[in-house]
């Protein structure tokens, strides 16, 4: 049996950390690509040299070109510029657009059957761009955002209640911006509705912190943005695909009428398996949730229009 191949474009903080999680979980062989000479090669060699110590078996190589990525099963795209304090994800659009256009063309040239997981921001817009540029089907191009945003919500709930993160189930919809739509109504702790454990004001405070969760980390780091949780989330999607788990996870996907939206990449719960996005799950929303959802969709539509495709 041929080993699975995971290529990661961009060997910066998110890319290199994703390589770490992927190799450690033995999801397949890992190829790290970056334009910086020596960086992907050096990080790959270093990571491979950790494998005898940690006892994982995965080949890890680094490259400045795409030859080594040939016939990848999954390609995670993290190449691009991260935010600095005071910047919104939208401020990255112009520069990351150029990077994503060239990267996606190279990627599909070598791996026309790959499934693409986008991480570069502004996430929903870059996912849309990758879908249009790649010519891949809508099942095979998706963005990582919902798992990260949900993980932040879960982490804040666990911290507030002083309980294990393992027992928290949560869901979140919408774009990967400060207008994302956390859904406390679909959030439980070991099956207990969150509303029975925390007063509304506290839930509202946690929702607000979740919305601004990326910015909180940018303000702390000052020179870049979050990378542990974003890379872990991208690898959870990779694992669901490579192991055909059919997990239900919030991901950024192309909508063609679902939730009343068309021609947009947006965060919704999907079934992820070997064929990529195998189904889109439509939730019933309250009037209030619908309003928040529409507002978030409006921002993403505006950003997509700026691509001028
Ligand atoms: N091809 C390949 N790699 C590229 C290209 C390109 N055309 N352009 C830039 N890169 C590389 C950079 O050289 C750098 O090593 O992408 C890497 C990005 O890494 P970091 O600057 O460390 O940024 P990171 O924190 O990993 O974030 C990457 O993910 O979460 C998002 O907003 C974040 O858009 C950003 C992306």
pLDDT 10s digits, 40-66: 999 999 999 999 999 999 999 999 999
Alpha-carbon distances of 15 from 30, 69, 143, 226, 255, rounded to whole Å: 11, 15, 14, 12, 27
Pairing of strands 74-77, 115-118: parallel
Domain with CATH 3.40.50.720 in the chain: 5-143
**Which of 8, 12, 229 for a ligand 1 pocket mutation test, highest count of atoms within 8 Å of Cβ?**
12
Peptide bond into 122 cis (omega under 30): yes
Q: Does the pTM of the predicted model rise above 0.95?
A: yes
**Atom 5, ligand 1: residue with shortest CA distance:** 79
Which tokens hold the place of 65?
A: 């070109």
Percentage of residues in the chain having pLDDT higher than 70? 100
Query: Which CATH superfamily does the domain covering 5-143 fall into?
Result: NAD(P)-binding Rossmann-like Domain (3.40.50.720)
pLDDT number for residue 287 = 95
pLDDT at 177 over 90: no
Q: Check pocket membership of 142 for ligand 1, CB cut-off 6 A.
A: no
Walk across the sheet containing 141-143 and list its strands: 60-63, 29-33, 5-9, 74-77, 115-118, 141-143, 247-256, 262-273, 276-280
- What is the number of the ligand 1 atom nearest to the C-alpha of 14? 26
pLDDT number for residue 273 = 98
Q: Check pocket membership of 120 for ligand 1, CB cut-off 6 A.
A: yes
Q: Check pocket membership of 238 for ligand 1, CB cut-off 6 A.
A: no
**Which of 78, 118, 124, 303 for a ligand 1 pocket mutation test, highest count of atoms within 8 Å of Cβ?**
78
pLDDT at 106 over 90: yes
Domain with CATH 3.90.110.10 in the chain: 146-305
- What is the number of the ligand 1 atom nearest to the C-alpha of 224? 25
pLDDT number for residue 90 = 86
**Atom 36, ligand 1: residue with shortest CA distance:** 120
CATH class of the domain at 146-305: alpha beta
Task: Give the integer Cα–Cα distance in Å for 177 and 118.
Answer: 15
């Amino acid at each position: 049996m041929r080993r699975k191949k995971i290529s990661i474009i961009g060997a910066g903080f998110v890319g290199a950390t994703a390589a770490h999680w992927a190799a450690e979980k033995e999801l397949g062989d890992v190829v790290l690509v970056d334009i910086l000479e020596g960086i992907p090669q050096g990080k790959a060699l270093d990571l491979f040299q950790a494998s005898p110590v940690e006892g994982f078996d995965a080949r890890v190589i680094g490259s400045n070109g795409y030859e080594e990525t040939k016939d990848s099963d999954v390609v995670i795209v993290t190449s691009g510029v991260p935010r600095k304090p005071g910047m919104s994800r939208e401020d990255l659009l112009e520069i990351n657009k150029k990077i994503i256009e060239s990267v996606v063309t190279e990627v599909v040239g070598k791996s026309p059957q790959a499934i693409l997981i986008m991480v570069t921001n502004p996430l929903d817009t870059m996912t849309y761009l990758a879908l249009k540029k790649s010519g891949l089907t809508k099942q095979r191009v998706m963005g990582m955002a919902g798992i990260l945003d949900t993980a932040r919500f879960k982490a804040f709930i666990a911290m507030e209640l002083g309980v294990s993160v393992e027992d928290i189930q949560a869901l979140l919809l919408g774009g990967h911006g400060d207008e994302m739509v956390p859904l406390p109504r679909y959030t439980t702790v070991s099956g207990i509705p969150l509303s029975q454990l925390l007063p509304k004001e506290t839930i509202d405070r946690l929702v607000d912190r979740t919305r601004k969760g990326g910015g909180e980390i940018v303000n702390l780091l000052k020179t870049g943005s979050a990378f542990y949780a974003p890379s872990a989330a991208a690898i959870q999607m990779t694992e669901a695909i490579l192991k055909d788990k059919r997990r239900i996870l919030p991901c950024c996907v192309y909508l063609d009428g679902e939730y009343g939206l068309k021609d947009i990449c947006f965060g919704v719960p999907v079934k992820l398996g070997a064929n990529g996005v195998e189904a889109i799950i439509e939730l019933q929303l309250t009037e209030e949730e619908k309003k928040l959802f529409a507002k978030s969709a409006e921002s993403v539509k505006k950003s997509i229009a700026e691509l001028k495709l």
